[in-house]
Amino acid sequence: MRIEKEVVVEYTIEKSKFIAYLLPCESNEMFRNKLNELRKQYYDCSHICSAYIINNNNHYQDDGEPSGTAGMPILKVLQAHKLNDCACLVVRYFGGIKLGKSGLSKAYSKATSLAIEKGELLEEIEVYKFKGTCDYSLINQLQKILEKQSVDYELNYDSQINFIFYLKEDNNPSINNLLKQDLKPIGKEIIFKKSKSV
pLDDT of residue 198 exceeding 50, the answer is: no
119 C-beta neighbours (distance < 10 Å), count: 23
pLDDT recorded at residue 191: 73
**Domain stop point among 95, 119, 143:** 119
CATH code (residue 160)? 3.30.70
Q: What is the pLDDT of residue 148?
A: 85
Give me the mean pLDDT over the 154-173 stretch.
Answer: 86
Rounded to an integer, what distance in angstroms lies between the CA atom of residue 83 and that of residue 120? 12
Same domain, yes or no, for 8 and 101?
yes
Q: Is the pLDDT of residue 157 over 80?
A: yes
Average pLDDT of the chain, as a whole number: 90
**What is the domain extent for residue 54?**
2-119
Total H helices, total E strands in the chain: 5, 10
Phi, psi angle pair for 174, to nearest 5°: -60, -45
Query: Does one domain contain both 108 and 128?
Result: no
Model pTM? 0.74
Are 155 and 180 in contact by the 8 Å Cβ rule? The answer is no
Measure Cα distances from 161 to 67, 138, 156, 184 in Å. 60, 9, 6, 18
Lowest mean pLDDT among 7-11, 26-30, 47-51, 162-166: 162-166
Average confidence (pLDDT) over 94-106? 91
